[in-house]
Amino acid sequence: METKRIIISGATSGIGCEIAKLYIANGWKVGVMGRRVELLDDLKRMNPENVYVHQLDINAADATENLQQLIAAMGGMDIYFHVSGIGYQNTVLDYDKELNTVETNCKGFTRMVTFAFNYFADRGKGHIAAITSIAGTKGLGVSPAYSATKRYQNHYLQCLAQLAAIRKKNIKFTDIRPGFVATDLLNDSHHYPMLMQKEYVAKKAYNAVCRTKRVKVIDWRYRLLVGAWRMIPNCIWERLAIKN
């Protein structure tokens, strides 16, 4: 059988790194992208013949050119897995933090996912997966930009799924929505309930993509939480003192 090829953005650490390890262990050709090449090189040492490293910043104007170079080096791409993202608790509404979050989670996300969609549309098939968040379910006052940009990502993937159907393109989509995960993104002084380990989340994400799940909320506790959130009317939600 032909070896399947996946490219993962944001694979330098956290969930992206753990997802890359799973695909490497299962014999895939794996392209890993991120800003810190020295961390990506650790992944390459796991399987030098099947791991391809490329430095890439999704906010840079040449990001898609770099992605194209990596695709060419691998001889193609079957799955694009977008993990790159940032976020903050920002109740003081620090201007730079809000704009940086929008830049990465909206503009950078759109840049990469749109390129992947067009690549797969030309090729005739493909699969786009992304780590988004349950934060997109409702507007969270402690993390305004993060919550809003995750809602944007949820909707953008849904729009592309509908567009693929309209254009009769065989492109699959998997929107993976974890809750709080113990990564560098949460390396601050705040307390986070129901904290999950990155290895656990990566395994659930890997299985969701293998099974071509359209939307996957990780895990059952967060599925219950999200279901409850959706039942709360906005007039009540906006008066709740949700701190995490």
Q: Is-contact 204 218, C-beta < 8 A?
A: yes
pLDDT above 90 as % of the chain? 84
Question: How much is the pLDDT for 180?
Answer: 80
Give 101-132 pLDDT, tens digit per residue.
Answer: 999 999 999 999 999 999 999 999 999 999 99
Q: Using CA atoms, how far apart are residues 244 and 241, in angstroms rounded to an integer? A: 9
In Å, what is the CA distance from 117 to each residue of 58, 86, 216, 229?
16, 22, 20, 31
Conformational region of residue 14, where left means phi above 0, alpha means psi within -120 to 50, and beta covers everything else: left
Can you tell me the distance from the alpha carbon of 8 to that of 81, in angstroms, rounded to the nearest whole number? 5
pLDDT bucket at 195, cuts 50 / 70 / 90: confident
| DSSP SS3 for 242 | coil
Is residue 38 within a helix (H) or strand (E), and if so which, with residue range? helix 37-44
Burial string for 183-214 (b: 16+ CB within 10 Å, else e) reads bebeeeeeeeeeebebeebbebbbebbeeebe
Structural domains in the chain plus CATH codes: 5-237 (3.40.50.720)
**Residue 188 above 60 pLDDT?**
no
Q: What pLDDT is stored for residue 2 in this prediction? A: 66
37-84: pLDDT as tens digits: 889 999 999 999 999 999 999 999 999 999 999 999 999 999 999 999
